[in-house]
Chains A and B, each alone.
Chain A
Amino acid sequence: MPTEGPRARPVERLERPLDENAETRLHRELERTWYVPRGVVGWLSVVDHRTVGKRYIATAFGFFIFAGILAALMRIQLAVPDNHFLGPDLYNQIFTTHGTMMMFLFAVPVMEALGVYLVPLMVGARNIAFPRLNAYSYYLFLFGGLMLTTTMLVNSAPDAGWFSYVPLAGPDYTPGKRSDFWAQMITFTEVSALAVAVELVATIFKCRAPGMTLNRLPLFVWSMLVTSFMVIFSMPAVVTSSTFLLLDRLVGTHFYNPAEGGDALLWQHLFWFFGHPEVYIIFVPALGIISSIITTFTQRPVFGYTALAMSVVTTGFLGFAVWVHHMFATGLPQLGLSYFTAASIVISIPTGVQIFCWIASLWRGRPRYPAPMLFVLGFFAIFIVGGLSGVTLASIPFDLQVHDTYYVVAHFHYVLIGGAVFPLIGGIYYWFPKMTGRMTDDALGKLNFWVLFVGFNLTFFPMHILGFQGMPRRIYTYPSEMGWGTLNLLASGGAVLLVVGGVLFVYNVVRSYVAGEVAADNPWNADTLEWGTASPPPVYNFLHIPIVEGRNALWDRSVDAPVVTGIRSDCREVLITEVLDAAPSNKTEFPGPSIWPFLASVVTTAFFIGSIFTPWALPVSVIPIAVTLIGWFWPKSPEKDAPGARKSTELREARA
């Protein structure tokens, strides 16, 4: 262990408050230190979490729109029986890309992006931990997503479904590069997501403002913590499965080839071991958004903080215990399947507890109903339907009838759109003032809600019935004699409303960004730390790092609440605190803008895409990858404690 002598301790003191001139000088110096570079090279060198977070969110919504258009095309094709709008090959590419893009390029990245933007602010930090890794993960996500989008535009999109079962997706039945693009897109997004997960865990555990004990963590931060752990433990399974698929397709391995000792079901086990936590990775951050919004718009601390935090943790654990419920029809032994029924039923309990706690919060508080709140209320009406249909799917006999039918399509859209997208849109409306400094048009936001709410239910509720009537999933057309035409037409009609709702959302966001009413620091009178700084926050987030005195940081703050001093403002010095009680522990210097993450991501992208086409990509890429990584980690001079560096005391005297 380190032998550096007794550990230094922070000192509580009374001090002369800074006068206006001193505050302005501090602001200018911090602004200079934490600057966000401009210009082309500057734009590519940004490591600031807010900028990267906004890019991430915008890019994810770009993929959302593209995938939504694909869905609209599907609904046109399915609106009437025996339709010839899309042939089977194109339809199969479209439904595969729709699902793949929504799950991997929208839902997970956008939730992580919200975390990237909000978590450092909510815990009182100046940036996210490992800021260059953050930039790198954004570029990888962008490039992987662009790769997939391009395949859709050149008739080379994957067409084996978003979960790409083998042997259909294997070398024998999907020739060409389609499934290779799919599998490699997984690699891009999974590396990206894992990087962000590690950053979030480090930020949440080690970069909190003093006084923010785990017991005082905002519920959104709890959600992002649990989500990050789920990412860390689940993504390796999909890395493994997609690597096996790529190797089978490209170099002749036999992981999934039953003729040579491989197993087709192995894919399903590996994929769903990841796939089920994946949906909780999407859903759990939304739970945090809901708690934030309910707290603010009832103007009371949320009811059942401990129960809510524990529920989220429990859900995170249980999410790993249920994956076989996607495989009930495969003929696995009955005893094993029964366990998974039990686990799949049990996992609904913590979510139920959360819903009851929120209803109690609504009961007790004084709700107001601006647009963000409406979207959260919409969650209740929609998600609960999906949660209940999910419980029915846990029953094996029932599942054997509705599995792989439109009942399942209805179920997962109810839980994903009701449980994640509605809270997400509410969250965007809620945090828009903070991110952009402008208010959105609330009346338009409310209209947006109603259009989406009605459109959603019109589109997806009939699908439950279509499932009962025997309509399987993933069919590009159906005969008119089956009697499925009316409900399909209704669903397609509802989809029109969804498109209108999407357009309304984009319009509201863009217009408000350009011409919305200027926002105050805390227009909603919310309680979390991000609302305790300007809208949008300055580049250094907080002029003074606050000391947190309660669970609702801004509401519990006393009039003369202390702040942290002694952190250098002439370099990117950051306070590192202890895991449990956020006691100050040491300081470190965060890196500033750097072009290396971008360069590394370009080289990595070239390697990932190249390796689909030739095994030479590996040896050829090794040197450039090594070069960019070494350049990235090579120390910049001068270093703080190198001989000749200025001492901290000199600086403090200079500042005061």
Chain B
Amino acid sequence: MSGGARFAWQRAVWELASLEVASLVIAGCSGNQSMFNPQGPAARSISSLGWTLLAICGVVYLLVMVAFFWALARRRLPSDDAPETTRALTRNVTLASIVTVLVLVVLSVASVVAGRGLTSPSGPGALQVEVTAHQWWWDFQYTDVTPSDYVTSPNELHIPVGVPVVLKVRSRDVIHSFWVPNLHGKRDLIPGQITHTWMQADRPGVYRGQCAEFCGHQHAHMAFVVVAEPMDEFRQWIAHQRQPASEPATDEERHGRDVFLQSTCVTCHTVRGTDAGSHVGPELTHVGSRLTVAAGTLPNTRGHLSGWIANPQAIKPGSRMPPNSLAAADLQAVLTYVRSLR
């Protein structure tokens, strides 16, 4: 097989695989993004609490409704007007109130116990990721001792399995909320403040997260994915992400890069290793290897990416990326180039 054909074959396989995974990811394959499908210790704590609370509430509701319907349906007696009846009723109402207080105490205790499972278990050597929310995308940055080794991975957060990850969260503009229900409760990101939260995944998998605080036009399309993978795969991924953008291998890719660097793309996007260095929008150095595009909105396939680059406003009206007026051939070239940035 010639070099070109091999590349095409690899690309096709990769494409199919991404589409599969990405669809599953965006799909959420029933249970993804459900708080009752916990995949980490914090979410598990909350999930158990949830079942407990719902069970208690269900029983209470049933009891009250039974008393209620019985009160309506019972046969009336002449003794109903007697003072003993009033005393009995008073006693029963008092009793019910006391039972209510006891049930509430039980509920509070359950809540406190669950709360203890939410304190971050990490020590000083924990992995730390900085999360920055923008209107309407997420930036995840892995800091390091050497600033030039920082890794930026927009809209896709990789974490090692079984290890707590501390998240330092902030917002660039309005209030957003960082939420991956399979792993933990949410944390609001308030501009002007930096807060911390954490997450830990027990198993490898892809978990969907979504912004949970109304943040403007495209709040509905501000999702992200969390990819939990075994530690060595995670280290590989980080190491690869540190590399600058891969050099174009084919003519089309080279042409695509030229078009890219001469068009409006560079006003907002960084591709490390080229002259494109703007930080307004997500970094594209390794965009080809990501599972989704447009903050979790679309699977990362050639077709979807094409639609997104040509006219983002048709998919996310109100977002900051303007429509493109590239000639068809140029658009194809840019697509090829961008998808080669793995």
Contacts and interface: CB of A to CB of B under 8 A. Distances in A.
Interface of A: 87-89, 92, 160-161, 165, 167-168, 172-173, 258-259, 263-265, 303-304, 307, 329-331, 341-342, 345-346, 348-349, 352-353, 355-357, 359-360, 362-364, 366-367, 377, 380-381, 384-385, 388-389, 391-392, 394-405, 468-470, 472-479, 481-483
B111 A88 contact: no
Contact of B49 (A89, A397, A472): A397
B74 interface: yes
A599 to B, nearest CB: 40
Given A341-B111, A395-B111, A398-B50, A356 B97 contact: yes
A331 B114 contact: no
Contacts of B85: 364
Contacts of B34: 468-470
Interface string B45-56: 110011001100
Interface string B230-259: 000000000000000000000000000000
Interface string B143-180: 00000000000000000000000000000011101010
Nearest to A364: B80
Contacts of B177: 329, 404
Contact of A395 (B43, B53, B86): B53
Contacts of A472: 179, 210-212, 219
Given A165-B213, A359-B67, A360-B93, 10 more contacts: A168-B174, A304-B90, A352-B97, A362-B71, A397-B46, A397-B114, A399-B185, A401-B50, A470-B32, A474-B219
Nearest to B96: A356
Q: Which of B74, B108, B184 has the most CB atoms of chain A within a 10 A radius of its CB?
A: B108
A345 to B, nearest CB: 5
Contacts of B114: 395, 397-398
29 contacts: A165-B175, A168-B175, A173-B216, A258-B191, A259-B192, A264-B190, A264-B191, A331-B193, A331-B195, A345-B104, A348-B104, A353-B93, A360-B92, A363-B70, A363-B74, A364-B85, A391-B104, A394-B111, A395-B108, A395-B111, A396-B115, A397-B49, A400-B46, A404-B212, A404-B214, A468-B36, A470-B32, A470-B34, A472-B210
B217 A92 contact: yes
B317 A360 contact: no
A475 B107 contact: no
A337 B50 CA distance: 19
A352 B97 CA distance: 7
A483 B174 contact: no
A472 B181 CA distance: 11
B72 interface: yes
A388 B68 contact: no
B199 interface: no
Interface string B76-91: 1000110001100110
A363 B216 CA distance: 51
B107 A395 contact: yes
B9 interface: no
A403 B187 CA distance: 10
Contact of A403 (B192, B193, B212): B212
B193 A475 contact: no
A114 B248 CA distance: 74
Nearest to A359: B71
B33 interface: yes
A482 B27 contact: yes
B304 to A, nearest CB: 12
Given A388-B61, A391-B107, A89 B318 contact: yes
Nearest to A401: B35
B130 interface: no
A167 B45 contact: no
B89 A470 contact: no
Interface residues of B, number: 84
A391 B96 CA distance: 17
B326 interface: no
Q: Which of A401, A473, A481, A482 has the most CB atoms of chain B within a 10 A radius of its CB?
A: A401
A356 B63 CA distance: 12
A472 B114 CA distance: 23
Interface string B105-139: 00110110011011000000000000000010000
A165 B177 CA distance: 13
A355 B46 CA distance: 30
Interface in B178-216: 179, 181, 184-188, 190-193, 195-197, 208, 210-216
A167 B53 contact: no
A366 B220 contact: no
A398 B36 contact: no
A346 B108 CA distance: 10
B217 A366 contact: no
B65 interface: yes
A423 B7 CA distance: 70
Contacts of B28: 470, 481-483
Contacts of A476: 220
A470 B177 CA distance: 13
B210 A470 contact: yes
A353 B108 CA distance: 19
B192 A473 contact: no
B101 A349 contact: yes
A219 to B, nearest CB: 16
Nearest to B215: A168
B155 to A, nearest CB: 15
Given A88-B217, A168-B174, A265-B190, A470 B93 contact: no
B53 A331 contact: no
B97 A353 contact: yes
Nearest to A355: B64
Contacts of A380: 64-65, 68
Contacts of A161: 214
B61 to A, nearest CB: 6
A225 B49 CA distance: 39
Contact of B218 (A88, A341, A353): A88
B23 interface: yes
Nearest to B23: A481
Interface string B23-44: 1001110101111100000010
Nearest to B223: A479
The 6 closest A-B pairs by CB, nearest first: A258-B192, A400-B185, A481-B27, A470-B33, A475-B220, A331-B195
A474 B176 CA distance: 13
B46 A398 contact: yes
Contacts of B17: none
B280 interface: no
A606 B253 CA distance: 63
Interface in B304-336: 317-318
A302 B304 CA distance: 66
A165 B214 CA distance: 9
B100 interface: yes
B35 A349 contact: no
Nearest to B185: A400
Contacts of B197: 331
Contact of A341 (B60, B89, B97, B108): B108
